[in-house]
Structure 1
Amino acid sequence: MAKWGEGDPRWIVEERADATNVNNWHWTERDATNWSSDKLKALLLGLSVENEEGRCEVTEVSKVEGEASINNRKGKLIFFYEWNLKATWTGTSNAGVKYKGAIEVPNLSDENDMEDLDISISLNKDEPDTPLISLMRTKGADKVRSVLGSYVGYLKTEFTQGMILPTANGIAKLQSTSQSKAKLDKTQISSTSSTTAPINTGVKIPTCKFSMRDTFLTSPPELYRVFVNQEMVQAFTHASATVDGERGGKFRLLEGNVFGEFTELIPDEKIVMKWRYNNWPCEHYATIVLTFLDRSSETELKVECRGVPDSQEEQTKEGWKRYYFEAIKQTFGFGARLF
C-alpha cells in the first residue's frame, strides 16, 4: 500500500495520527489467548452435575493449551481458536464414597461444530467402578459442551467491542465468521450487530425481561443478608468481593465479572440493584429486583430482570442459577427444591 505522497493517487491511504481504522478497512488483530485461558478455567472449574447416585464436580483444570485471536477486515470479524483441555472431576456417592476421574477435550476449535466436539471422560485406573461415571458421560459431558459453547459466545461478544467502529455513514454492520466457515455454533451465545456496537455511538440495544424463582431453607432476614453482607458474598463466591450494603452502595464480585449498585433496599423484603456483566456494552445495566417471600420454614426468592441484552438472556439465567442460587445453597446449607 502506497504511503501518503507516493505512488498512484488512486490507491493512496493517508496514515492518520490517531491510528483510527477508517471504515474498518484495514486488517486489525486482537490476541485473545490469555483471556481465553482464564475464561476456560473459570467456566470449567466448579462445574457440577448430580442425580440419585451422587454428585460430581470439576475440581481442577490441569491443562489449557492453545491460542485464540480475532481479526477484523473490511468490517468482517474472523475468529480463530484452538484448544487442548484436561480437567479432573471428583465424584461423591450418596454413601459418601469419593471417586476421581479425568476429562479431556483434545480439539476445541473453530473448525469443529460444538455438537461434534470430542469429550472424553474416564475414571482413574485405581478407582473402583461406579455409576457416577455414567452420570459424567451423559449429563457431565452435556454440561461441559454447554460451557465451552458459552466460551465461544463470550469470545464473540467481549472481544468484538471496539473492533467494529462507526463508519462515515453510521454504524458498521457486524459480520462474524469462523476462520473456516460462516455459520455459528448452535450452542453458543449469539452475538448481534446492535449488541456489539459501542454504547457511546448512541445505538439502542435490544433487551429482554424475565423472572426466576427458587426456594431456600432459611428465613427472609438470613437470605437477605447473604446479598448485602460482604463476608457472606465472599463465602458463596469463594473469592474476594466488595459489597457496600447500603442504598447507593456499590458491589463487585466474581473477580470483577459482576458489578453494580444497590438502588433500593427494604430490609428482609426487597433489594433493587443496577447489575451488569463486565462484557456488556459500556455503561449498560440491567435492573434486578429481588423479593423475599416468607413461606413458613422456607423463603421463596423471586428475581425479576429487566434490561438484559437479548443475546445475554441465557447466559444471565445460567449465571444466576449457578453463581447465586446453587452456590448459596451449597455454601450455607439452604438447599431446597427448584421450581
Structure 2
Amino acid sequence: MVAAASKDVSIEEKFAVPPKVLYQALLSADDLTRMALGAATQMDATVGGKFSLFAGGVCGENVVLEEPSKIVQKWRFAEWADDVYSTVEIRFIEEAECVTRIELKQTNIPGEDKFGNPGAYERCLHGWKGNFFDRMEKVLGYPRERG
C-alpha cells in the first residue's frame, strides 16, 4: 500500500493587538489551556522545550523562538505514526500600531494517520482556525481585523 502524499496548510489572520501579545499567548500554558477550554496543556517555552496540547492530543517541540516575530515547532497529533512530525512556522508581522498579521504555515502533514485513516490535513486546517484563531478572539479577547 502506498502512503497518501503529505500536504501543507497556510493561513493568514489579522488581530488588533501587538505581535508580542500573540507570540506570548501561543507559548503560554495558561493561555493555551484557556483556548482549549480547560484541556490539559504543558508548554516549555524554550528552544528544545516540549509541549503537549489538548490533553496530549497534540505534542511537539519548539525549534525556533524569535520573540516577537517567529515560532517554529515540530508538531504532531497523537494518532500519527510515532516518527511523523510536521513543521509549524508562525510569523507575527506588525502591519500598523497594534495590528498584527499572523502567517501560519504547517508543512508535511501526513495523508493519513497510523491507522490508515485520511483527514489529517482537514483536521489541522479546522483546528488552527477553530481551536486557535477563533478562540484567540473569543476566549482571550484579542479582536480580529476584518478586511
Cα distance in 2, alignment partners of residues 304 and 320 from structure 1: 10
Counterpart of 2:61, as a letter, is: E
The correspondence of residues 63-212 of structure 1 with structure 2, limited to 5 A, is 173=1, 194=3, 206-212=5-11
Answering whether residue 84 of structure 2 is matched by residue 276 of structure 1, we say no
TM-score, scaled to structure 2: 0.87
Query: How far does residue 330 in structure 1 lie from its aligned partner after superposition?
Result: 0.8
Give the number of the structure whose alpha-carbon radius of gyration is greater.
1
Corresponding position of 1:65 = none
Shift of 1:335: 2.4
Aligned-pair identity (%): 25
Kindly report the root-mean-square deviation, in angstroms, between the aligned alpha carbons of the 2 structures.
Answer: 1.6
TM-score by length of 1: 0.39
Q: 1:305 to 1:338 in 2, by over 3 A?
A: farther
What number of residue pairs does the alignment pair up?
138
Q: Which runs of 5+ in 2 are unaligned?
A: 112-117
Match of 2:32 among 224, 233, 236: 233
The change in CA–CA distance for 1:254 and 1:338 in structure 2 (over 3 A counts) is: farther
Could you list the structure 1 runs, at least 4 aligned residues long, displaced by more than 3 angstroms after superposition: none
Alignment partner of 1:316 out of 124, 127, 138:
124
Q: Is the 8 A contact 2:16 2:145 kept in 1?
A: no
Residue pair 2:31, 2:140 contacting (<8 A) in 1 also? no
Q: Which has the higher helix share?
A: 1
Of structures 1 and 2, the one with the larger relative CO (CA 8 A, separation 6+) is 2
Instruction: Note the alpha carbon deviations across 1:240-294, whole angstroms, 9 max, x for none.
Output: 2100000000110111111100000001000000001111122210000000000
3-state SS in 2 of match to 1:332: coil
Deviations 1:60-89 (A, max 9, x none): xxxxxxxxxxxxxxxxxxxxxxxxxxxxxx
Q: One-letter code of the match for 1:328?
A: M
1:254 paired with 2:77, answer no
Return 5+ residue gaps in structure 1 as ranges.
Answer: 1-172, 174-192, 195-204
